[in-house]
Structure formats: structure tokens, C-alpha cells
Structure 1
């Protein structure tokens, strides 16, 4: 009996790791609040603080997104998408707040031929070769 193996699609991470420096006293306060049960851990505290600041500045963020004509969320560009852009003789000006993925099967030449500019406020996932090909177009 032969086994059939199906490769599952790789799951895209829904978070990005940040490294921050925090003063010892602030860190002690965070640990105290965690110890007292206000937060489950340091990361929980930091995520909550970030959400609170984003909520406090929500109007300014919305206005900026409209002013800069940014897309919000996950934007994925597959080889077929870029080939269609190329066939139409067009170029993309990509502006995303969130995660932009340029699929692994996109060759650097196709990316360079179809992407005029790339602005990502968040994270960009692309092969090192594609990132290199677009280096002068990424802001």
C-alpha cells in the first residue's frame, strides 16, 4: 500500500516580532502588573499598550490612510497577477498598511518589470532575489 503525501500550504504568520528596549524601572512595573494578574505576560501588556495608543490616534491614522491612498490588511501578488499586469502594459504602485506578500514563484525580472514602487508599512514577505531587484523602488 503506497502512501500519498499532500503538502499543506504554508501558513503565513499573522504577527511580526519586534524587539524593544525598555528601562529597568518600566520593566519592573510591567512585571509587577503581570505578577498581580492584570496581564498574562509582558507581551500581553505591550500588545495592550499598542492597541490603546492606536485607538487614541485612530482618527489621525484613518486620515493618513485616506491621504496616502493606502490599502489595509494582507495583499498578495502571485505570478499570474503580475503576468496579467505585464500583459496589460501597466505598472503597479503598491501602498499597503499590513502585510504584503510577493509569492515565491515570482521571478525578480517579472517583479521589476511590473512594480514601479512599493511602500509597505508593516511587513514585506518576498524572496531575497525579489527584494534585491526592487531595492531601489521600496520606500
Structure 2
């Protein structure tokens, strides 16, 4: 199953919206840089700043991922994956930095029988029924 881990590429359909609060002076400075043509808009500036900071902290992030045994990128869990886990009598501890997706055909019963815990730093995509069933196991 570790072969299902992919490095992220930036795509607008594969992003999460966040909200931040900025002081008026900082916001004005960003607007000035946009006005001067350094960035196409506020979002472009913020994404660039975040990527720059993540690059600066890259080694620390890598070390944390290894230390916490986290998977990096996109991790899909199919119905067949979970059925194989159940047949082997095993339980999953899902730990992902990025995006974890549980297939829409996975039933709450199958998920509860195979997933012991879920830790996702990023986003978890699963049906509302699965999220409700696994709520106490999501950290």
C-alpha cells in the first residue's frame, strides 16, 4: 500500500481554503506589492510567502515526518485495501501529511472494522457518514 503515496502538485482543485486575519498595515503592504506588479493578487503573495517559509523549514518538517512515521502526500484507501486489511486481521493507524482519501464505496462498518485511528495534517476526504462513524478515532 505504500506505493499509493504521491508527492503533491499544486492544482486549484486540490486545495483547501483557509482564512487568516492580518493587521491593516501588513495588508496594505501586500496590496502595495500587488499594485506594483510583484504579485498578481493577495492570494499569490500569501501562497508565495507560505512556500518560502515551508522551504526554509523543510529539513525540520522532513525530520518530524520520519520521527512520527507519517506518510507525505496523497494517500488513497480503497474498499479493496480495507477488505484486505480486515482479512489479515489487522487495523490501520492512518498518519498522513497532505491528503488522505477514503473511497466513497467504503461502508462505515468496514471502516470501523479496519481503521483504529486517523491523524491527518492537511485534509481528510471521506463521506459524511464515514467521518461521523470514525469521529472518535480522528485526531
Helix, strand or coil at the partner of 2:13 = coil
Q: Is there any run of 5+ residues in structure 2 with no aligned partner, and where?
A: 1-11
Cα offsets for 1:73-107 (capped at 9, x unmatched): 00011111111111111111110000000111111
Question: Which residue pairs with 1:20 in the alignment?
Answer: 20
By relative contact order (CA 8 Å, sep 6+), the higher-ranking structure is 2
Cα offsets for 1:50-90 (capped at 9, x unmatched): 01110111111111001000000000111111111111111
Tell whether 2:110 aligns with 1:92. Answer: no
Question: Which residue pairs with 2:43 in the alignment?
Answer: 43
TM-score by length of 1: 0.89
Q: For the residues of structure 2 that align with 1:46 and 1:62, how far apart are their CA atoms? A: 22
TM-score by length of 2: 0.89
Which protein is richer in helix relative to its size?
Answer: 2
Runs (4 or more) in structure 1 with deviation over 2 Å come to none
Root-mean-square deviation over aligned CA pairs: 1.1
Largest Rg, 1 or 2: 1
Shift of 1:13: 2.8
Q: For the residues of structure 2 that align with 1:112 and 1:18, how far apart are their CA atoms? A: 30
